[in-house]
Amino acid sequence: MNNGVEQGPIRPPNEAYSLLIRVTRNCPWNRCAFCRTYKGERFSVRSVDEIKNDIRTVKEISQEIKKISWNRGLGGKVDASIVRAVFESPHLYSEGFRRISLWLYGGGDTVFLQDADNLRMEADDLAEIVSFLRETFPGVRRITTYARSKTVYLMEVERLEALREAGLSRVHIGLESGYDPLLNFMKKGVTAREHVEAGKKVKASGLELSEYVILGLGGKEMWKPHAIETASVLNQIGPAFIRVRTLKVLKDMPLYAKLEKKEFRLSSDDDIIREEALFIDELDGITSYFASDHILNLLEEVEGQLPEDKPRMREIINRYLTLPEEERINFRLGRRAGLYRKLDDLNNPILSQQVRDCLGKIGSASPEKVEEAIANLMERYI
């Protein structure tokens, strides 16, 4: 059996248990200053036959994994014991087997199409792939894809409607910001107006829309208009989901050079939380779900349904900002070390003592060393 199913490098965090099917390779724009993912790689569209062969391979592997379940008397159900059996026998089962066992364990009902801009593929071809996925796996309830705003902006709504009718469920778009000077500075290749028009087209087609925003992207100079104008763009679109990410600059990102030249100054964690507060305050008249589903976000629990959960979300932010500085530092380090998930974890004496011990080893009298340790911990998650 052919166990090779081509995989791209990334997927959204909320697609952790989704089947990953690579439709295109890399990114057709690939100039964003804050991104390093596809740098040095050329964009290409895979053939329909290639992709269908991958889907057939997934079907074959799924059947083999379910045979293991039947042989163990589990009636085809893929539980944790089946996943362990696959992972603990690398000499028997390939990486493809391992990924697909996790997909089946997670329900086997969601699919994410890679890479960065699958709507660049001919709409008829993409519709054929989506239909084939639905036919091959009738139990799939959701198929999603990444797309660029610029690509959607240039599309006709009818093409998007055809994709929805074929079985596509949701489009993920990296909005990042709605502030034109910042979009230009970061070489995003799209304007706020184009973001709005693209978002409206996705909604008009009946597809679900998930928009991503990068907290901290404006740095110390542009944080305020970034928050206000991004909220303005989203208020005009009204996406199903607003998903926030926190900027982390690495040496292999183009933005790092701007940082070294002092053309860009990073916001602190506390600055970013104040920015997030303003951003949430400015969101108005929409019923989006505000999701903080990324490990780099300091306050992961700032999440909820707009507008009803806005007061609770702001209360969490206010609670953090009014903590004594020592407790804010403790929470930041504990969060980046993976010990804390929410502010209430500060009240856990065992966890908080572990963080205090870490601060003691780092040298709590040296703020520079603490900041360096936190920055190094954040790099683990990118």
Residue 299 region by backbone torsions, left for phi larger than 0, else alpha for psi between -120 and 50, else beta: beta
Above 90 in pLDDT, residue 346? yes
The number of residues making up the chain comes to 382
pLDDT at 379: 86
Instruction: Say what the pLDDT of residue 96 is.
Output: 86
Tens-digit pLDDT profile for residues 208-264:
999 999 999 999 999 999 999 999 999 999 999 999 999 999 999 999 999 999 999
Domain residue spans of the chain: 1-143, 148-155+164-322, 325-382
CATH class of residue range 148-155+164-322: alpha beta
Q: What are phi and psi of 289, to 5 degrees?
A: -95, 125
Distances (CA, A) of 318 to 260, 306, 315, 323, 347: 33, 18, 5, 9, 17
Q: What is the DSSP string of 18-59?
A: SEEEE-EES-SS---TT--TTTT---EE--HHHHHHHHHHHH
Report the candidate in 63, 79, 69 with the shortest Cα–Cα distance to residue 3. 63
Cβ-proximal residues to 272 (8 Å cutoff; 6+ apart), any chain = 215, 216, 223, 246, 247, 298
Q: Which helix (H) or strand (E) holds 104?
A: helix 95-105
Q: Is the pLDDT of residue 1 over 80?
A: no
**How high is the pLDDT of residue 2?**
46
pLDDT tens-place string over residues 160-216 = 999 999 999 999 999 999 999 999 999 999 999 999 999 999 999 999 999 999 999
pLDDT of residue 26: 97
Burial label, 262 (beta-carbon count in 10 A; 0-12, 13-18, 19+): exposed
Left (φ > 0), alpha (ψ -120 to 50) or beta: where does 117 sit?
beta
* pTM of the predicted model as reported, rounded to 2 decimal places: 0.94
Average pLDDT value for residue range 38-50: 96
d(CA 264, CA 279): 21
Map residue 145 onto helix, strand or coil.
Answer: strand
- Please tell me the predicted confidence (pLDDT) of residue 365: 56
Q: How far apart are CA 96 and CA 87, in angstroms?
A: 11
* CA pair distance 324, 3, nearest whole angstrom: 55
User: How does DSSP assign 266-298, residue by residue?
Assistant: PPPHHHHHHHHHHHHHH--S---EEE--STT-S
- Mean pLDDT computed over 21-40: 96
pLDDT, tens only, 83-141: 999 999 887 788 889 999 999 999 999 999 999 999 999 999 999 999 999 999 999 99
